[in-house]
Amino acid sequence: MPRATPLADRSPGDAGRPPLTTPATRNPRYEADEHPPLLTSLALGAQFSAIAGATLLVTPVIVANASGRGDDYVTWMIFVALIVVGVSTLLQVRRVGTVGAGAVLPMFTAAFAIPFCINALEGDGGPATLASLLVVAAATQFAVSRWLFLVRRVVTPVVGGTVIMILSITLASVVFDLLDGATREDPEEASLTALATMAIAAAMVLRGSALARLWGPVVGIIGGCLVAGLLGIYDTQRITESAWVGLPSGWPGVSYDFGLSFWTLVPSFVALGVIISIQANGAAIAMQRVAWRDQRAVDFRQVQGAIAGGGASNLLAGLAGSVPNAINPAMVSFIQITGVAARRVGYAIGLILIAVAFLPKVSGLLGSIPGPVMTGYLMMVTGGLFVDGARTVIQNERDSQRVAVAGVCFWIAAAFQFDLFAKPDIGAVGNALLDSGITTGGLAAIVMILYLEFTNPRRMRFQSRLDIDALPELNEFIARFAQRRGWNDAMKDRLSAVAEETLLTLAPLDLEALMQDDGDEDGGPERQLIVLASSEGPVADLEFIGGGDEDNLEDRLRQLQQHDEETPVEQELSLRLLRSYAQSVQHQQFQDTDIITVRVGQPGE
């Protein structure tokens, strides 16, 4: 998963330097919890809906056309895609229990999922197989959300970035097939239309202002449609025949199929669920960095909610017979431009998308976009996916061995995806796995990362009850760790001090509770503390896993740095001690679990 930059990554020698994290380029005029005027919220919601609307329906139209079930099915797919995206956007904004981010994270039909959908439709079950597999992808997202603090060990930035890069070549194969089909009917016209769409969008994205880049894909699609009309390949019959207000004429019904096609594609849709979770993880973190005026540590409980909200969206899509959804990444740029991060805008976006579903004339306009125009737009998406994947690897990994894994696995996936060598016949299920670059390349990346983990010097592990009484045993563990690394007493004492202060953060001493204790030990499940100790040269890394309070240690340390008083209050003494000993402190708060990672250098460094 994309890793959050340690916000409290400040060593004693860093005084006067800028913090490692960079706040939003423009502070929001309205934070997430604030209330802009109703008309402002509606206007901004309408503007973003217009930006999203033109590209939102590319995926359902392509998938519906690939199913070969006629125009009625295309109309139904457009209708249900708008409803599901609108409802799930409201869920992300409102948050129900642990589902939803509680932030403006509009949902969006996932263009990168088109290859998965087409593979599902080519099987014996058709749309029924696709609906069943969407439920599998949703279940995967729920699992990643629930156990995010464990999954991060396997789905590292290298694995996530590699899979996204592989996804670009998988989508590229679909794009080329679409262009090939279009050029068979209108060779010159289709090629010129696709080229015009891509050129217009690229010109705005590459050289335009921030607002122009946001509107670039929409303007590219509009320009492509104009070119298609001039060349005589834009069919407007669906627009003219659609009513202004109403429902689709026929419901095709939703069924589920669990035949051979389903089981051969389950690994691919599990991978799709992981990919969408990775994307939601990055989008939720980026949103937190632009939604508040003050700098804050990343709240991974909100990240978990965003991933679960995406899972709920795809569960609804599977139940309704729609296509996979993901979070629309354009919202972060939109907030930076407008300065409004208020949830009211999210409510407006969701309601507008639902309302558009009941306007067949608008749906017909968006659904009649010519195939070559969609192809030109998808070429831009393909390039953007590769760049995003490479950026995820390079920005989050400093280990050259892990970066090499990304390059090797990318070409492994390309070799399998494009049949660059003769593959063995290992049965229907096995052959389907080998035919997919996503499964082969993604599995290769996971295996290589696990190999690097297991061949590294083993981390030492300590486990006990999360209580201040565990301090003596914890100190013994720290002493053994320092002895194995051959460190002196000064380093051992420094590590012990860090361990003590961190334990006090996770399990603060509550004297009032101790005085009221009546000896009843059945008050609830016993909380556990796990400490993982590792080293990188002369530097030690201590990872504390347990439960904590609502306060984030990173934020408290930052506040202490910003408001450094001459006379510290008693509760700040431990924080000052921790800050003086640690090179960096990273506090990740998950649902029911806190992880504090402290990096400690040698005394005098």
Asked whether the beta carbons of 183 and 233 are under 8 A apart, the reply is no
Strands 325-327 and 107-109: antiparallel
Q: Considering just the CA atoms, what is the radius of gyration of the chain in Å?
A: 26
* Average pLDDT of the residues in 227-242: 81
Which of 41-55, 77-91, 112-126, 416-430 is modeled with the greatest confidence?
Answer: 77-91
Residue 357: what residue type?
A
In whole angstroms, give the CA distance from residue 438 to residue 167.
7
For residue 431, the model assigns a pLDDT of 66
Residues facing residue 561 across a β-bridge? none
Domain 460-509+526-600 has CATH 3.40.50.1010: no
- State the pLDDT at residue 577: 59
Q: Report domain extents, the chain.
A: 25-248+258-382, 460-509+526-600
Q: What would the two tokens of residue 84 be? A: 């599901």
| pLDDT, tens only, 150-202 | 777 777 777 777 877 887 887 777 777 777 777 777 788 888 988 998 888 88
DSSP symbol at 517: -
Distance CA 527, CA 592 (A): 10
Q: How are strands ordered across the β-sheet holding 593-600?
A: 460-465, 528-536, 539-546, 593-600, 582-590
Residue 37 CB neighbour total at 10 angstroms:
10
Q: Helix 437-455 crosses helix 400-417 at what angle (to 10 degrees)?
A: 150
The Cα 78–Cα 367 span in angstroms is 7
3-state secondary structure of 96: strand
119 three-state secondary structure:
helix
Long-range contacts made by residues 186-190, C-beta under 8 angstroms, separation at least 24? 186/231, 186/233, 186/372, 189/228, 189/231, 189/232, 189/233, 189/372, 190/233, 190/371, 190/372
Q: Determine the pLDDT at residue 87.
A: 95
Residue with tokens 């390039």: 383
138, pLDDT greater than 90: yes
- Is the pLDDT confidence value at 453 over 50? yes
Q: Running DSSP on this structure, what letter comes out for residue 529?
A: E
What amino acid is encoded at 373 in this protein?
Answer: V
DSSP string for 284-334: HHHHHHHS-SS-----HHHHHHHHHHHHHHHHHHHHHT---EEE-THHHHH
Cβ-Cβ contacts under 8 Å for 564 (sequence gap 6 or more): none
pLDDT attached to residue 473: 92
| Phi, psi dihedrals of residue 412, rounded to the nearest 5° | -60, -45
Say whether pLDDT at 526 is over 70: no
pLDDT exceeds 80 at position 232: yes
340-356 per-position pLDDT tens digit:
888 999 999 999 999 98
- Greatest Cα pair distance, the chain, in angstroms, is 85
